[in-house]
């Protein structure tokens, strides 16, 4: 169907075209596709913005410009479309071999041809907003190997979009391997629907919260202190190792010592076994030695470490019973013994399926250090397996990624996330980052994400950051992000067959399971009496003996 005429071609791939008044309805929102004849085929463009001129213009001299197109009424409706690709009769290719010329006729692309272009990928994520009969799909290879970012303001549908991607992966790829850092336990309900979803949480209060809310019993997560590097332990102690403070130096020395007690060539970061008390013991010894007496930095460090050891919530780090038993059971010489235990503890996370590291309810320092340790360990294991000729392609998804890889601020997880983003492709490590604050997220990380799934984003600074750090995204597209409805996304980049405005499927409708993290229904909650809950067991940790009894399933299940 003919809808208008090209008026201007500008920028690298934008065309402005005037639209017949009666055809405007077909193109009324961004995301519609139009086409222009090109030699031997068609060039396709996606509508990205509008300029509908009113009566005042009708009366002005601009009308004269229109005289060349008698079929168009003087109330001029101009649309801007971005050229996205070319169809030569055989296949669709990105890019435009030949620019359209002003005066050329513009046609509406129909659903059938669009379905051919956007429907043959692996991951069916939703439908074109403008052509709801057309399924929109993404390429799994490109999604994982070039990484992706899901960005939007809160409540716009990020978790839903990620859950739909995970659901598709689980349904279609029986040996898929995905590890999700689930900051708010939002994805736990996936375990109700799919057998191959495992939920891991620190035992005790955090695991009980997951179980109480979702009825899913998590397996105990352990991140033994000896597998943490200097930065992760510093993160737990709230020290910033980028500043060479005395405390960081003491900590580094202590880590080296306790590791070298078992393996004399160990560095401060090597995964060589020690117990948390040994670290404290070494520092207390230093405190007592005559030279370091009355050193406030050291006293303060010892106090921080004592508090860390007393924190019952962090027993999964400081007293990891199952992994300690594993280590003890192994026997043999160091460093092999430690490395073997290390590979088993973290290798267990690489079982096929989706592994959710549910960290909701933990303090954010603990979340970040835990995620950093897990990501570094997975990096070590996966890169080693590639070098040994046995790749284990794995997708890592990080929710609230700005907490882990913030822009302009140190975090123990930032360096590893940037490393994965930059080098993961070679080793078969894909990264998906999810954030509601693009402007607070490491720009290095964002710049490495080849595919953008951007839902409603109203903040102009967030839009600027998205624009500045993503290839393949134009200002006109990003400015339109504030007008998207919940669940609607601009999808662009390497995994996208064409840039598109897509209505993402609703996960609850598709799978019959609600996700976590839903808004509280204030009206309902304040309109009826609420049942009283016994919250005592979710407020405090518990004495160690009780925890011992409570333990049913163990990490052994994963080893």
State the residues that interact with ligand ATP by CB under 6 A.
152, 154-160, 436, 486-487, 504, 506, 517-518
Closer of 212 and 485 to ligand ATP (Cβ): 485
| Complete DSSP assignment for 272-289 | ----HHHHHHHHHHHHHS
In the complex, minimum distance from the CB of residue 125 to ligand ATP, in angstroms, rounded to a whole number: 9
Pick the closer one to ligand ATP by CB: 159 or 411: 159
Shortest distance (Å) from residue 484 CB to ligand ATP? 11
Tell me the closest approach of the beta carbon of residue 482 to ligand ATP, in angstroms: 15
> Residue 403: which residues within 8 A CB-CB, separation 6 or more?
183, 364, 367, 368, 411
Residue 465 dihedral angles phi and psi, to the nearest 5°: -65, -40
What is the closest distance, in whole angstroms, from the C-beta atom of residue 335 to ligand ATP in the complex?
Answer: 42
Where do we find the tokens 């005066």? 103
Kindly state the smallest distance separating residue 301's Cβ from ligand ATP, in Å: 37
End-to-end CA separation in angstroms for the chain: 61
Taking the C-alpha atoms of residue 484 and residue 155, their distance in angstroms, rounded to an integer, is 12
452: which strand partners? 149, 492
Smaller CB separation from ligand ATP, 436 or 442:
436
Give me the least distance between CB of 59 and ligand ATP, in Å please: 44
CB atoms within 10 A of CB 51: 11
**Judged by CB, which is closer to ligand ATP: 182, or 232?**
182
Residue linked to tokens 């971005």: 82
What minimum distance in Å lies between the beta carbon of 188 and ligand ATP? Answer: 13
Comparing CB distances to ligand ATP, the nearer of 301 and 401 is 401
- Could you tell me the smallest distance in angstroms from the CB atom of residue 192 to ligand ATP? 16
Q: Which is nearer to ligand ATP, 156 or 398 (CB)?
A: 156
* 503 touches 130 (CB < 8 A): no
Q: 11 — phi, psi (to 5°)?
A: 60, -155
Question: For ligand ATP, which residue has the nearest CB?
Answer: 487
How far apart are CB 399 and ligand ATP at their closest, in Å?
A: 8
CA distances from 16 to 9, 34, 57, 62, 246 (A): 6, 12, 17, 16, 62
Could you give the CA distance from residue 54 to residue 76 in angstroms, rounded to a whole number?
8
Distance CA 545, CA 233 (A): 26
Task: Report the residue number, 161 or 298, with the smaller CB distance to ligand ATP.
Answer: 161
Residue 335: is the preceding peptide bond cis (ω within 30°)? Answer: yes
Q: Which is nearer to ligand ATP, 270 or 399 (CB)?
A: 399
Per-residue DSSP letters for 310-325?
A: H-GGGHHHH--HHHHH
The nearer residue to ligand ATP, 120 or 154, going by C-beta atoms, is 154
Nearer to ligand ATP, 315 or 437 (CB): 437
Nearest alpha-carbon partner for 513 in 126, 191, 127: 191
What is the residue whose two structure tokens read 């006109």? 476
Taking alpha carbons only, the member of 549, 555, 544, 546 closest to residue 323 is 555
- Are 393 and 428 in contact by the 8 Å Cβ rule? The answer is yes
Quote the DSSP letter at residue 110.
P
Query: Which residues in 86-103 are b (16+ Cβ under 10 Å) and which e?
Result: bbeeeebeeebeeebeee
**Minimum distance from residue 515 beta carbon to ligand ATP (Å):** 6
DSSP alpha helices (H): ranges in 103-245? Answer: 111-118, 140-145, 158-172, 190-193, 205-214, 230-236
Output the smallest distance, CB 128 to ligand ATP, in A.
13
Structure tokens at 15: 């065309």
Q: Judged by CB, which is closer to ligand ATP: 83, or 484?
A: 484
Q: How far apart are CA 398 and CA 180, in angstroms?
A: 6
d(C-alpha 308, C-alpha 313), whole Å: 9
Q: Give the residue with the Cβ less far from ligand ATP, 406 or 517.
A: 517
- Rounded to a whole number of angstroms, the minimum distance from the CB of residue 518 to ligand ATP is 5
């Amino acid at each position: 169907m003919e809808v208008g005429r090209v008026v201007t071609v500008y920028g690298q791939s934008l065309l402005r075209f005037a639209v017949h008044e009666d055809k405007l309805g077909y193109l009324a929102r961004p995301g519609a596709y139009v086409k222009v004849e090109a030699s031997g085929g068609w060039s396709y463009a996606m509508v990205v913005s509008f300029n509908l001129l009113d009566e005042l213009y009708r009366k002005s001299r601009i009308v004269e410009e229109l005289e060349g197109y008698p079929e168009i009424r003087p109330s001029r409706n101009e649309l801007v479309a971005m050229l996205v690709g070319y169809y030569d009769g055989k296949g669709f290719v990105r890019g435009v071999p030949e620019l359209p010329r002003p005066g050329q006729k513009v046609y509406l692309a129909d659903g059938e041809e669009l379905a051919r272009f956007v429907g043959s990928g692996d991951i069916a994520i939703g439908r074109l907003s403008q052509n709801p009969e057309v399924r929109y799909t993404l390429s799994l290879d490109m999604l994982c190997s070039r990484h992706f970012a899901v960005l939007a303001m809160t409540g716009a549908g990020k978790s839903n979009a990620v859950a739909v991607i995970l659901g598709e992966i689980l349904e279609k790829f029986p040996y898929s391997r995905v590890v999700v850092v689930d900051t708010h336990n939002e994805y736990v309900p996936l375990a109700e629907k799919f057998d191959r979803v495992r939920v891991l949480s620190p035992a005790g209060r955090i695991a009980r919260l997951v179980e109480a809310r979702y009825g899913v019993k998590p397996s105990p997560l352990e991140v033994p202190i000896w597998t943490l590097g200097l930065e992760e332990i510093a993160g737990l102690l709230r020290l910033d190792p980028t500043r060479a403070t005395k405390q960081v130096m003491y900590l580094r020395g202590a880590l080296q010592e306790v590791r070298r007690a078992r393996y004399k060539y160990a560095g401060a970061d090597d995964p060589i076994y020690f117990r948390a008390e040994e670290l404290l013991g070494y520092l207390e010894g230093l405190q007592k030695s005559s030279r370091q007496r009355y050193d406030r930095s050291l006293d303060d460090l010892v106090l921080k470490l004592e508090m860390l050891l007393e924190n019952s919530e962090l027993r999964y780090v400081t007293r990891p019973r199952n992994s300690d038993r594993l280590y003890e059971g192994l026997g043999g010489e160091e460093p092999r013994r430690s490395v073997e235990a290390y590979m088993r503890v973290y290798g267990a996370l690489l079982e096929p399926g989706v592994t959710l590291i549910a960290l909701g309810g933990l303090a954010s320092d603990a979340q970040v250090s835990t995620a950093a340790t897990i990501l570094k360990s997975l990096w070590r294991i996966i890169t080693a397996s590639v070098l040994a000729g046995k790749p284990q392609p794995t997708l890592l998804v990080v929710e609230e990624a700005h907490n882990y890889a913030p822009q302009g601020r140190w975090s123990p997880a930032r360096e590893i996330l940037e490393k994965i983003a930059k080098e993961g492709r070679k080793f078969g490590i894909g990264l998906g980052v999810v954030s509601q604050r693009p402007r607070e997220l490491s720009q290095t990380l964002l710049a490495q994400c080849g595919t953008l799934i951007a839902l409603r984003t109203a903040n102009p600074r967030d839009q600027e950051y998205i624009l500045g750090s993503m290839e393949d995204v134009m200002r006109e597209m990003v400015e339109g992000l504030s007008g998207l409805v919940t669940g609607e996304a601009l999808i662009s980049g390497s995994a996208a067959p064409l840039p598109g405005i897509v209505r993402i499927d609703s996960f609850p409708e598709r799978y019959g399971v609600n996700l976590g993290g839903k808004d509280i229904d204030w009206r309902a909650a304040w309109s009826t009496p609420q049942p009283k809950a016994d919250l005592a067991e979710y407020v405090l940790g518990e004495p160690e003996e009780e925890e011992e009894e409570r333990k049913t399933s163990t990490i052994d299940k994963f080893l």
